Amino acid sequence: MAAPRESPNGSVRELTPEEGRRFFDRRARALLGISGAEFLRRWDAGEYRSLADDRDHPEITTLAMLSDFGR
C-alpha cells in the first residue's frame, strides 16, 4: 500500500492534492478494482450505503474514510 511516508527525520510529509488523488485511486483499484473517481460516484449515489458499516466489507469503510484524498 502506497501511503504517506515518514521522512528520514520522523516528520510526516503532506501530500499535494494531486498526490492525494493518486493515492486514493491506487487504494480504490487495489481494494475494489475500480478507480477512485468511480468509487466516489457510487458512494455519492448511495450505492454503498448498506455496506458502509458492514464488517464483511472493510474495504468500503476504508475508502470512505480516505475519500477526502480523492476529492
The DSSP string of 6-19 is B-TTSPBPPPPHHH
Q: What is the pLDDT tens value at each position of the chain, 71 positions in all?
A: 455 565 667 788 889 999 999 999 999 999 999 999 999 999 999 999 888 888 999 999 999 999 999 99
Q: What is the pTM of this model?
A: 0.81
User: In Å, what is the CA distance from 33 to each residue of 9, 36, 40, 57, 71?
Assistant: 35, 9, 13, 14, 19
